[in-house]
Chain A
Amino acid sequence: MRMPRRALAAAVVALVLPLSACGSGGDDSGSTDASGKVEGDITFQTWNLRANFKPYFEGLVADFEKKYPGTNVKWVDQPAEGYADKISADAAGGTLPDVVNVSPDLVAPLAKAGLALDLDKAAAKYKEEYLPGAWASHEIPGTEGTYAFPWYLNTGPLFYNKSLFKEAGLDASKPPKTYDELFDNALELADKSDGKVATLANVPTIEDFGRYGVELMNKEGTAFAFNDAKGVQLLSKYKELYDAKALDSQALTATPESSGKKFLTGAVAMNPGSALDLGNFKKQAPNLYKNIGITDQITSTGKVNMYVMGVMVNAQTKQKPAAVAFAHFVTDAQNQMSFAKKVAIFPSTAGSLDDPYFTEEDGTDETRVRIAAAKSLKNAVNYTPVLFSEQMKTELRNSVAKALQGKVSPKEALDNAVKACDRLLQQQG
Chain B
Amino acid sequence: MASPSSTTAARVRRQLPTSPWLFAAPGLLVVGIFILYPFVSTVVNAFTDRRTLIPGEFVGLANFRELLHDEMFWIGLRNSTLYVLGVVPALVLLPLLLALLVQRNIPGIAFFRSAFYTPVVASIVVVGLIWVWLLDERGLVNSLLETVGVGRIGFLSDQWLLLLSAMTVTVWKGLGYYMIIYLAALANVPRELHEAAAVDGAGAVRRFLTVTVPAVRSTMVLVGALSSVAAFKVFSEVYLMAGPGGGPAGEDTTLVMLVQRTGTGLTGRVGYASAISVVVFVVTVALMLLVLRADRKEDT
Chain A positions within 8 Å of B, measured between CB atoms, are 2-3, 7, 10, 14-15, 17-19, 21-26, 84-85, 87-88, 91-92, 106, 109-110, 112-113, 115, 249-250, 252-255, 258, 265, 267, 389-391, 394, 397-399, 401-402, 405, 407, 424, 427-429
Contact = CB atoms under 8 A, between A and B. Distances in A.
B44 A402 contact: no
A250 B137 contact: yes
B32 interface: yes
Interface of B: 17-18, 21, 32, 36-37, 40-41, 44-45, 48-58, 136-138, 154, 156-157, 162, 242-245, 247-250, 261-262, 264-269
Contact of A250 (B37, B157, B265): B157
Nearest to A10: B32
Contact of A405 (B44, B249, B266): B249
A155 B136 CA distance: 30
Nearest to A19: B44
B211 to A, nearest CB: 47
7 contacts: A88-B53, A106-B266, A250-B156, A252-B247, A391-B262, A407-B249, A427-B269
Contacts of A18: 37, 40-41, 44-45
A24 B55 CA distance: 7
Contacts of A394: 245, 250, 261
Contact of A22 (B32, B50, B156): B50
Given A18-B45, A390-B265, A92 B247 contact: no
B248 A401 contact: yes
Contacts of B41: 17-18, 21
Contact of B45 (A22, A91, A397): A22
A383 to B, nearest CB: 19
Top 4 A-B pairs ranked by shortest CB distance? A25-B55, A113-B53, A401-B249, A18-B41
A340 B41 CA distance: 46
B278 to A, nearest CB: 13
Main secondary structure of the interface of B (DSSP, over half): loop
B37 A391 contact: no
Nearest to B47: A22
Nearest to B249: A401
Nearest to B42: A18
Main secondary structure of the interface of A (DSSP, over half): helix
Contact of B267 (A3, A10, A115, A391): A391
A249 B162 CA distance: 13
A21 B32 contact: no
A139 to B, nearest CB: 17
B17 A109 contact: no
Contact of B40 (A14, A87, A254, A399): A14
Contacts of B265: 84-85, 88, 389-391
B53 A22 contact: no
B52 A109 contact: yes
Contact of B268 (A10, A88, A106, A397): A88
Contacts of A19: 44
Nearest to B44: A18
A417 to B, nearest CB: 11
Given A15-B40, A19-B44, A110-B266, A25 B157 contact: no
Contacts of A17: 37, 41
Contact of A428 (B245, B250, B267): B267
A112 B138 contact: no
A85 B53 CA distance: 12
Given A15-B40, A22-B48, A391-B265, A109 B249 contact: no
A390 to B, nearest CB: 5
B45 A253 contact: no
Given A18-B45, A25-B54, A253-B247, 4 more contacts: A7-B21, A109-B53, A390-B265, A428-B51
Contact of A253 (B36, B52, B58, B242): B242
A279 B199 CA distance: 74
Contacts of A91: 52-53, 266
Nearest to B55: A25
Contacts of B248: 252-253, 401, 405
A407 B58 CA distance: 38
Contacts of A23: 55
A19 B36 CA distance: 14
B55 A21 contact: yes
Contacts of A254: 243
Given A15-B40, A84-B266, A265 B138 contact: yes
Contacts of B51: 427-428
Contacts of A424: 267
A14 B37 contact: yes
A250 B136 CA distance: 9
